[in-house]
Amino acid sequence: MARKVKDTEDLPKAKINRSSLKKAFRLYEYIGPHKWKLYLGLFFLLLTGGTALGFPMILKDLISTIELKNYDKINNIGIYLILLLTFQSVFSYFRIYLFVNYTENTLASLRRAIYAHLITLPMSYFVQQRVGDLNSRMSSDISQIQDTLTTTIAELLRQVILVIGGIIFLLVISPKLTLMMLGIVPIVAIAAVIFGRFIRKTSKEVQERIAESNTIIEETLQGISNVKAFANEFFENARYKRSTEEIVKNAIRGGKYRGFFASFVIFCLFGAIVSVIWYGIHLASLNQLRVSELFAFILYSAFVGVSFGGIAELYAQVQKAIGSIERVFEILDEEPELLSINEHVEITKRIEGTVSFENLAFTYPSRKEIQVLKNISLSVKKGETIAIVGPSGSGKSTIVSLLLRFYDPESGAILIDGIDARKYPLTELRNNMAIVPQDVLLFGGTIKENIAYGKPNATIAEIVEAARKANALEFIDLFPEKLETVVGERGVKLSGGQRQRIAIARAVLKDPSILILDEATSSLDSESERVVQEALDKLMVGRTSFVIAHRLSTIRKADKIVVIEKGQVREAGTHQELMQLENGLYRSLTNMQMELV
Ligand SMILES: Nc1ncnc2c1ncn2[C@@H]1O[C@H](COP(=O)(O)OP(=O)(O)O)[C@@H](O)[C@H]1O
Ligand SMILES: [Mg+2]
């Protein structure tokens, strides 16, 4: 929690101008049906401002009973005061309640909009943003917006009402005294604020000097053997001495300014107040002002002064909030993928699974200087297995990312069943594919939920069947809670091979036409590799499979093997064909791995 406070403290301020305000007002769309709460809240805000301004007036009347000696009015005025207090508290309640209510509803719809938008953004967005960073930045931006909508704006408006209303009352009570006060107090107050800022700056300088001298100690202690070996104790000692002298010099200078400031505040600010009172009494002696009015005048002056002082800080908060709103809308303005997000789309059109890549070239948007794939052409008929092999970093995973349409190719095309992949609706395309990666991410939840990720409306029987086909049932049954076992961060930790089998069960449920195995067994020990491979072999039957493998022995039976090097197809053919190539890359890689075994 403490961290959260600090986060919003660090937020940069935005300039308040026409274009930034226009952006900020886009938030208004998200208030939706709760707009009336905002308006009613604003109305109550006006009322609380009004009642607050009424107080000094009634207190004035109360005091004036002494001057006018009409003591019989005391009780009536007392009742007015109580009534005003009651109104004030009721209005405040509704004001706060309505503001919190409309803010939370607005934020909820904003949060939902951001989330829905974020998960439909293309992969190219995520590779350019550090995702953790994005999340923490968004949460501090949203909490800044929250504070601003619930309290800051209301406070700011209230202060403005109090300042303007206060000045009007001051003018009503005594124009002369008001002009005199406005002539001196703001000047002195502004001077005090500027002076205060200057002092904060000098005290920050002292802090920096102290940090510097601490660095010297730290460095010497860490490198003490160096210091001793070079017999440089003398040098370090002198360095530290100089640094402490700097601190003293700066601190004393700071002290001098603080002293000036104290005498300034005492003399000028209080002097200004004393002059106003003196002039007020003077006017009273001329019968131009009553003492009760002077009393009300001083109260209104305090209202105006305090509110005025608060406005600067509130304004800074609003500036930060506008910055936050701008950043949030930057995310919302990113172009999303065309995906169906509000309903689960059943596979309507089943893809057969014939795939061909034609002269595909690709460069990651986050790394424009390197072309990762150059002129890749390959093809696989429905139901066949194509293996992609090659050194790490050669572009194998990138090829399957393009197949999943995480990115669009720079040039060339991917044809699926003879039709350009870009012509398919994304959801339909991806619903016909499944991937088993090297590292499987399980979501926090039960094993059952994790398997059903491949088909959200699966029945229990289907899930059990999928787990069996994936060779997962044997270990799942060993857990006391079986399919209901909670996994993920707060649950049971599954081994790599077990996670892999859950992923296979997901894929079984999804029943895809195109299957992608990206080093699915590469990080497993040989025993788990055997069970996982067996499950994979079953899964691959009848599907077009793209198999990326590190251990070449696992892909020998593939219908076609494509060897990729530096983003290009070096060799393509069956195992037998490739083994016959003199100086072939596949042959030398295979021979190398055989020697290792
Ligand atoms: N998201 C990414 N952004 C930028 N470059 C990437 C990204 N992913 C991979 N690369 C680069 O693309 C090249 C191919 O990577 P990859 O397809 O993962 O290789 P392989 O799977 O064959 O090991 C590498 O040079 C890698 O650094
Ligand atoms: Mg890879």
Encode pLDDT of 529-539 as tens digits. Answer: 888 888 888 88
- pLDDT for the residue numbered 3: 39
Q: How far is the CA of 212 from the centre of ligand 2 (A)?
A: 47
Q: Check whether residue 51 and residue 104 sit in a common domain.
A: yes
pLDDT classification of 405: cutoffs 50, 70, 90: very high
- The number of folded domains in the chain is 4
- pLDDT for the residue numbered 596: 66
pLDDT digits (tens, 9 = 90+) for 547-567: 998 888 888 889 999 999 999
Number of CB atoms found within 10 A of residue 207's CB: 12
- Bigger pLDDT: 490 vs 420: 420
Over range 423-452, report the average pLDDT.
89
Atom of ligand 1 nearest to the CA of 548: 21
CB-ligand 1 contact for 397 (6 Å cutoff) = yes
What CATH number does residue 100 fall under? 1.20.1560.10
pLDDT classification of 165: cutoffs 50, 70, 90: very high
Q: How far is the CA of 567 from the centre of ligand 1 (A)?
A: 10
> Who's near 218: CB < 8 A, 6+ residues apart?
none
Specify whether the CB–CB gap between 26 and 327 falls below 8 A.
Answer: no
Atom of ligand 1 nearest to the CA of 567: 14
**Torsion angle of the four alpha carbons 432, 126, 336, 139, in this order, in degrees rounded to the nearest 10:** 120
Residue nearest to atom 12 of ligand 1 (CA): 372
Residue nearest to atom 6 of ligand 1 (CA): 364
Q: Check whether residue 142 and residue 94 sit in a common domain.
A: yes
Atom of ligand 1 nearest to the CA of 123: 1
- Amino acid found at 429: L
Over range 76-87, report the average pLDDT.
92
Over range 464-479, report the average pLDDT.
91
pLDDT classification of 1: cutoffs 50, 70, 90: very low
Q: Please check the confidence at residue 345 and state whether its pLDDT lies above 80.
A: no
- pLDDT for the residue numbered 597: 57
Distance, in Å, from the CA atom of 130 to the CA atom of 125, rounded to the nearest integer, reads: 10
Q: Check whether residue 25 and residue 166 sit in a common domain.
A: yes
Q: Check whether residue 169 and residue 34 sit in a common domain.
A: yes
Residue 296 resides in a domain: no
Atom of ligand 1 nearest to the CA of 392: 23
- pLDDT for the residue numbered 40: 95
CB-ligand 1 contact for 372 (6 Å cutoff) = yes
Number of CB atoms found within 10 A of residue 181's CB: 25
Domain termination site, one of 492, 511, 530: 511
Greatest Cα-to-Cα distance within the chain, rounded to the nearest angstrom: 121
Over range 208-216, report the average pLDDT.
88
Q: Check whether residue 62 and residue 138 sit in a common domain.
A: yes
> Who's near 342: CB < 8 A, 6+ residues apart?
none
Q: Check whether residue 69 and residue 145 sit in a common domain.
A: yes
Of 476, 474, 539, whose CA–CA distance to 504 is shortest?
Answer: 539
Beta bridge partner(s), residue 560 = 386
CB-ligand 1 contact for 295 (6 Å cutoff) = no
Over range 265-294, report the average pLDDT.
88
- Bigger pLDDT: 135 vs 506: 506
pLDDT digits (tens, 9 = 90+) for 40-66: 999 999 999 999 999 999 999 998 998
Residue nearest to atom 18 of ligand 1 (CA): 397
Joined together, the tokens standing for residue 454 give: 């491949």
Mean pLDDT value across the chain: 88
- Residue 519: how many CA atoms within 13 Å on its side-chain side? 16
Question: Would the CA dihedral through 414, 419, 423, 428 be positive or negative?
Answer: negative
Residue 294 resides in a domain: no
- pLDDT for the residue numbered 342: 65
pLDDT classification of 137: cutoffs 50, 70, 90: confident
pLDDT classification of 212: cutoffs 50, 70, 90: confident
Q: Check whether residue 362 and residue 264 sit in a common domain.
A: no
Distance, in Å, from the CA atom of 363 to the CA atom of 348, rounded to the nearest integer, reads: 33
Residue 492 resides in a domain: yes
- pLDDT for the residue numbered 462: 93
Over range 355-367, report the average pLDDT.
92
- pLDDT for the residue numbered 178: 92
Residue 236 resides in a domain: yes
Mutate which of 397, 435, 568 for ligand 1 pocket (most atoms within 8 A of beta carbon): 397
Q: Please check the confidence at residue 10 and state whether its pLDDT lies above 80.
A: no
Q: How far is the CA of 566 from the centre of ligand 1 (A)?
A: 11
CB-ligand 1 contact for 374 (6 Å cutoff) = no
Specify whether the CB–CB gap between 399 and 357 falls below 8 A.
Answer: yes
Q: Which of 1-5, 474-478, 538-542, 545-549 has the lowest mean pLDDT?
A: 1-5
Q: How far is the CA of 555 from the centre of ligand 2 (A)?
A: 16
Q: Please check the confidence at residue 136 and state whether its pLDDT lies above 70.
A: yes
Q: Check whether residue 544 and residue 420 sit in a common domain.
A: yes
Residue 24 resides in a domain: yes
Residue 365 resides in a domain: yes
Mutate which of 367, 376, 402, 562 for ligand 1 pocket (most atoms within 8 A of beta carbon): 367
Quote the DSSP letter at residue 333.
Answer: T
- pLDDT for the residue numbered 6: 45
Residue nearest to atom 8 of ligand 1 (CA): 398
Q: Please check the confidence at residue 444 and state whether its pLDDT lies above 50.
A: yes
Q: Please check the confidence at residue 73 and state whether its pLDDT lies above 50.
A: yes
Residue nearest to atom 16 of ligand 1 (CA): 395
Element (H, E) at 569: strand 568-573
CB-ligand 1 contact for 125 (6 Å cutoff) = no
Distance, in Å, from the CA atom of 379 to the CA atom of 359, rounded to the nearest integer, reads: 11
Q: What ligand is nearest to the CA atom of residue 399?
A: 1
Q: Please check the confidence at residue 175 and state whether its pLDDT lies above 70.
A: yes
- pLDDT for the residue numbered 2: 36
Q: Considering the chain, what percentage of its residues have pLDDT values greater than 70?
A: 96
CB-ligand 1 contact for 526 (6 Å cutoff) = no
Specify whether the CB–CB gap between 361 and 373 falls below 8 A.
Answer: yes
Atom of ligand 1 nearest to the CA of 401: 17
Q: Considering the chain, what percentage of its residues have pLDDT values greater than 90?
A: 43
Q: Check whether residue 142 and residue 41 sit in a common domain.
A: yes
Over range 241-258, report the average pLDDT.
91
Q: What is the 3-state secondary structure (H, E, C) of 406-460?
A: CCCCCEEEEEECCEEHHHCCHHHHHHCEEEECCCCCCCCEEHHHHHHHHCCCCCH
- pLDDT for the residue numbered 356: 94
Q: How far is the CA of 577 from the centre of ligand 2 (A)?
A: 25
- pLDDT for the residue numbered 113: 92
Atom of ligand 1 nearest to the CA of 398: 17
pLDDT digits (tens, 9 = 90+) for 106-119: 999 999 999 999 88
Specify whether the CB–CB gap between 439 and 498 falls below 8 A.
Answer: no
Residue 119 resides in a domain: yes
Residue 63: which domain range? 11-173+304-337
pLDDT classification of 5: cutoffs 50, 70, 90: very low
Q: What ligand is nearest to the CA atom of residue 390?
A: 1
Q: Check whether residue 16 and residue 135 sit in a common domain.
A: yes
Q: Which of 7-16, 143-152, 222-231, 388-397 has the lowest mean pLDDT?
A: 7-16
pLDDT classification of 9: cutoffs 50, 70, 90: low
Of 442, 337, 294, whose CA–CA distance to 118 is shortest?
Answer: 337
Residue 4 resides in a domain: no
CB-ligand 1 contact for 396 (6 Å cutoff) = yes
- pLDDT for the residue numbered 4: 41
CB-ligand 1 contact for 130 (6 Å cutoff) = no
CB-ligand 1 contact for 149 (6 Å cutoff) = no
- pLDDT for the residue numbered 360: 94
- Amino acid found at 458: A
> What angle is formed at CA 407 by the lines to CA 403 and CA 411, rounded to 5 degrees?
85
CB-ligand 1 contact for 457 (6 Å cutoff) = no
Mutate which of 374, 398, 518, 563 for ligand 1 pocket (most atoms within 8 A of beta carbon): 398
Atom of ligand 1 nearest to the CA of 519: 21
Atom of ligand 1 nearest to the CA of 367: 4
Q: Check whether residue 452 and residue 427 sit in a common domain.
A: no
Domain termination site, one of 511, 537, 558: 511
Domain termination site, one of 511, 527, 545: 511
What CATH number does residue 427 fall under? 3.40.50.300
Q: Check whether residue 395 and residue 249 sit in a common domain.
A: no
Over range 258-269, report the average pLDDT.
85
Q: What ligand is nearest to the CA atom of residue 567?
A: 1
Residue nearest to atom 25 of ligand 1 (CA): 393
Atom of ligand 1 nearest to the CA of 390: 22
- pLDDT for the residue numbered 341: 65
CB-ligand 1 contact for 178 (6 Å cutoff) = no
